[in-house]
Structure formats: structure tokens, C-alpha cells
Amino acid sequence: MWAEMFKDKIPQFSTSYYHFTFNENKSVYKFDRKDEKTKMPWSSGSEEDNIWFNDYSNETFTDQKFVFDNTYLLSDSLITIDWKMVPNETREIAGFNCRKAVGKIFDSVYVFAFYSDEITITGGPMGIHGLPGMILGITIPRMYTSWIATSVQIVGVKTNIVEAPQKGKKKKAVELQETVKKATSDWGSYGQQAVWRLFL
């Protein structure tokens, strides 16, 4: 009954915009804005405070994440992604010719990515990394979500913002992940998706 009441107010697609900024072999990924026309009616806005900082040379990350009414400063090794290249399949994204690769995260979740070796950093949105070029497009079917670069800015980029966040309770990501798994164990597939989103 509750779902039926809100059915007409829920958009088929919801869009948010983020900035991915890199300098040398480090990057920061931050929320920019939501598309107000497709905004979910019950969105709390807590995800807007999340920050992903990756150090690809050392294969580590420091993330600021809002989880269960608390802000945490999480650090750990970058997630392991088993990539396989897809030959002869390309796509143009934001003016760059991109090659396709398929990866697997969290043991069984498939990631379909397009990367450009014209931009040599090995990163992409959130903690997705490990391809020989910048990842400009990602689709994760089991999360019903895609990330697509809309533009790439070369000149006038404020690279001084590429630094690790400082706000939050310090915690190892793997420890918080286990806590969230237990708390959402009876949420079914929604709980599983919540864990994946938090720790990408």
C-alpha cells in the first residue's frame, strides 16, 4: 500500500552529478548536484557529504562516508577488480574513444566499463580502478546504475583539491562493512545493494 501511494511520485530514472579530479596518480571524487526533476521524493541528501580519495600508486583509499547517522573516515586498500578486456568494442564518451572491459567486484557483481588510454590515470568513479586509462563509463546491472562522463576539462582545473578528507570517525572500511552487513541482513536484495553502494 505504501509503495502504491508513492508510485506516481517516483521517477523512472534519477540523476546526480559528480566531479572526478585527479593530479598525477591521485584522485578525489565529490558530489556536485542532483537533477531536481528526477530527484527521489524521500532523498535525505546524506550521500552528498561522501568523498572518495584514491592513491593509485600505493593502491589505497581514504573515504568520507555518512553511514547510519554518523560520518566515518575510512581507509583501506583499493578493492580488487578482476578485469577482462573486450576486443573490438568501443564507444565515444565525452569526446574520447573508449575501449570496453568487464570486471567483477564483491565476488559476483559484474561491472561493464569503458576507458580511454588517452587519459593515463588508472581511476574512475568512486573506488573503481585498475584499467590502462581513465574510466569514463560504468554500468553495474545488479545495482541498476550507470556512471557516464558528460565532459572532460583540461585547462583551469583546481588540482589543489586532490587531497584526502579529514572529517569523521576513523575506522577500517572492512570493519564498518561487517557492521553494515549485519544490520542489513534481513533487508534482502536491497540490503545487499546498500552495502555495495557504501563500499564501492
Residue type at 115 in one-letter notation = Y
In a domain, 42, yes or no: yes
Q: What is the pLDDT of residues 144-190, one digit of tens each?
A: 899 999 999 988 888 999 999 999 999 888 888 888 878 877 777 76
In a domain, 55, yes or no: yes
Spatial strand order of the sheet with 109-116 comes to 84-93, 96-105, 109-116, 134-140, 145-148
In a domain, 53, yes or no: yes
| 66 has a pLDDT exceeding 60 | yes
In a domain, 88, yes or no: yes
- Under 8 Å between Cβ of 81 and 95: no
In a domain, 182, yes or no: yes
> How many domains, in total, are found in the chain?
1
| 136 has a pLDDT exceeding 90 | yes
In a domain, 50, yes or no: yes
In a domain, 145, yes or no: yes
Nearest to 163 by CA among 50, 22, 66: 22
Q: What is the pLDDT of residues 67-78, one digit of tens each?
A: 888 999 999 999
In a domain, 6, yes or no: no
Boundaries of domain holding 39: 14-198
